[in-house]
Amino acid sequence: MNYHVIGGKKLSGTVQTNISKNATVALLAASLLNKGTTTIRRAPHIEEAKRLIEVLQSIGVQVDWQGEDIVITPPSTFTLESINRESAERTRSIAMFIPALAHHLGSFELPAPGGCDLGKRTLGAHVEALARLGIHIGPNEDGTAYKVTTHNVAPGEVIMYEASDTGVENVLMAAALIPGVTTIKFASSNYMVQDLCVFLEGLGVRVEGIGTSTLVVHGIKEINMDAIAIPTEDPIESMFFISLAATTDSELTITRCPIDFLELELYTLNQMGLKHTRGEVYLAENKHTRLVDITIQSGATLIAPPDKIHARPYPGINIDNLPFFVPVATRATGRTLIHDWVYDGRALHYMEMTKLGADMVLADPHRVFVTGPTPLHGADVVAPPALRPATILLIGMLAGEGESTLRNVYPINRGYENLHERLQKLGASIEAVE
């Protein structure tokens, strides 16, 4: 699929934040801990979820879409003989199946994961942390899969040497079915981790310290119940629309924004001159996540921030929200330094914005300087093989004067459902074409 865009138009209206991709994939993996049926509420129809569902079905799991919900019923016995390797290799999220399958199978091989091309991304934090609980991960003989074995599985203390969201989620899922107390120190407390903790508590696994950097998991021997999983709204999607409004100088209202995971982003944009209002706080369906409705105001004169913009573990700027400052910076007077220290090479993808007229300098594989204000224009560009860099190109095309084509938008469809149709409702001239 390609997107054909006629940019330079101001947008208006209201858009609702959809359910989180990252929380949904974590709950798909966590459903394997439960011998009973798990229903994931209001799950997004995105490519990332579809790939994982294809893998689940290939290993004997019954997965049914019932309206907006996914209903998951595991088999009495798991088998990986007919695993869908192609789907497994297309998403790094496949690594999140390791803890549950380790409890069910003991030893197995899982196809090596892929997903976004963001440079070298190892599972080092996962490997070391799970080994402390008796789950060991290494390469198979030809290096095409991960070989997982279990030995002396027991609860313990895990120190996360890297602020890895999925690493902590894997430890949480492993600890859930190890009777006793497991303590996870220096844990990520990001939104998808909190969603997983809330789900585990609903399964009868007590988790102390939700939202902090120390999690204490009281594991149990077995989970066998009909369960409800409720992924909450996606702060990264909220940030997409916030960035879109700022870059196109439009007034947009974004509803159901998880405010605890957007505070620093909004503060930084406020420093740059962007104005917004927000409504009263209300709770998401899971009764844990705090939501607000945010209106981004148009007509702001933007300036470069006084300091560099860089991501930090929660409660800092979210690593997936960092790219959205690139298109905004093209409107800001002065020079903005954006430091993407986590991913090797993702900043290289940011430089695709120069094809739309952005004035940017790549300092090194992690840092870009954006000088503004610079008017953007249309161009014909192939979407980079990474979700967030692909979306900032779309924002730039919607802001830039003239016609654009963004080719091969599969990376965007990994995380966004019917995005072009939602943009059309805001007044954007965008079509999905073959």
pLDDT one-digit tens code per residue, 130-158:
999 999 998 888 878 889 999 999 999 99
Is the preceding peptide bond at 373 cis, omega within 30 degrees of 0?
yes
Render pLDDT for 175-192 as a digit per residue (tens, 0 to 9).
Answer: 999 999 999 999 999 999
pLDDT score recorded for residue 181: 98
Mean pLDDT, rounded, of the chain: 95
Per-residue pLDDT tens digits for 76-109: 999 999 999 999 998 889 999 999 999 999 999 9
pLDDT at residue 178, as a whole number: 98
- Coil, strand or helix: which one is 395? helix
Secondary structure of residue 242 in the 3-state scheme: helix
Asked if 386 and 234 touch (Cβ cutoff 8 Å), the reply is: no
Q: Given a cut of 80, is residue 209 above it in pLDDT?
A: yes
Greater confidence (114 vs 333) lies with 333
Residue 117 has pLDDT above 70, yes or no: no
Mean pLDDT of all residues in 164-173: 96
Please report, rounded to a whole number, the percentage of residues in the chain having pLDDT higher than 70. 98
Task: Please tell me the number of Cα atoms within 13 Å of 301 on its side-chain side.
Answer: 1
CB 137 within 8 Å of CB 123: yes
- Pair of tokens at residue 233: 């709204």
Whole-angstrom distance between the N-terminal and C-terminal Cα of the chain?
Answer: 5
Per residue in 379-390, pLDDT tens?
A: 999 999 999 999
- Does the pLDDT value for residue 412 go beyond 70? yes
385's tokens: 């093989």
Q: 298-301, long-range: CB within 8 Å, 24+ apart, which pairs?
A: 298/10, 298/245, 298/249, 298/250, 298/251, 299/249, 300/246, 300/249, 300/273, 300/274, 300/275, 301/273, 301/333
pLDDT recorded at residue 120: 46
The tokens for 419 are 């995005």
**Residue 207's pLDDT band (cuts 50, 70, 90):** very high
pLDDT in tens, 210-247: 999 999 999 999 999 999 999 999 999 999 999 999 99
Classified as helix, coil or strand, 318 is coil
What are the beta bridge partners of residue 214?
185
Judged against a pLDDT cut of 70, whether residue 115 lies above it is answered with no
User: How far apart are the C-alpha atoms of 127 and 125, rounded to whole Å?
Assistant: 6
Q: In order of start, what are the domains of the chain with their CATH numbers?
A: 2-18+233-433 (3.65.10.10), 21-229 (3.65.10.10)
The whole-number pLDDT of residue 121 equals 53
What average pLDDT does range 39-62 have in this prediction? Answer: 96
Q: Are 60 and 77 in contact (CB under 8 A)?
A: yes
How much is the pTM?
0.95
pLDDT value at residue 31: 98
Q: What is the CA radius of gyration of the chain?
A: 21
**Whether residue 119 has pLDDT greater than 50:** no
Q: Is residue 5 very low, low, confident or very high in pLDDT (cuts 50, 70, 90)?
A: very high
290 φ/ψ angles, rounded to the nearest 5 degrees? -90, 130
Whether the predicted pLDDT of 114 surpasses 60: no
Q: Alpha-carbon distance 29 to 33, whole Å?
A: 8
Q: Using one digit for the tens of pLDDT, what is the confidence trace for 295-304?
A: 999 999 999 9
Q: How many alpha carbons fall within 13 Å on the CB side of residue 299? A: 2
pLDDT for 344: 83
pLDDT in tens, 353-408: 999 999 999 999 999 999 999 999 999 999 999 999 999 999 999 999 999 999 99
- Map tokens 């107390």 to a residue: 181
In this predicted model, which residue has the larger pLDDT, 208 or 145? 208
Take residue 209 and report the two structure tokens written for it.
């310290």
Percent of the chain at pLDDT > 90 equals 92
Best CA proximity match to 271, nearest among 336, 208, 320:
336
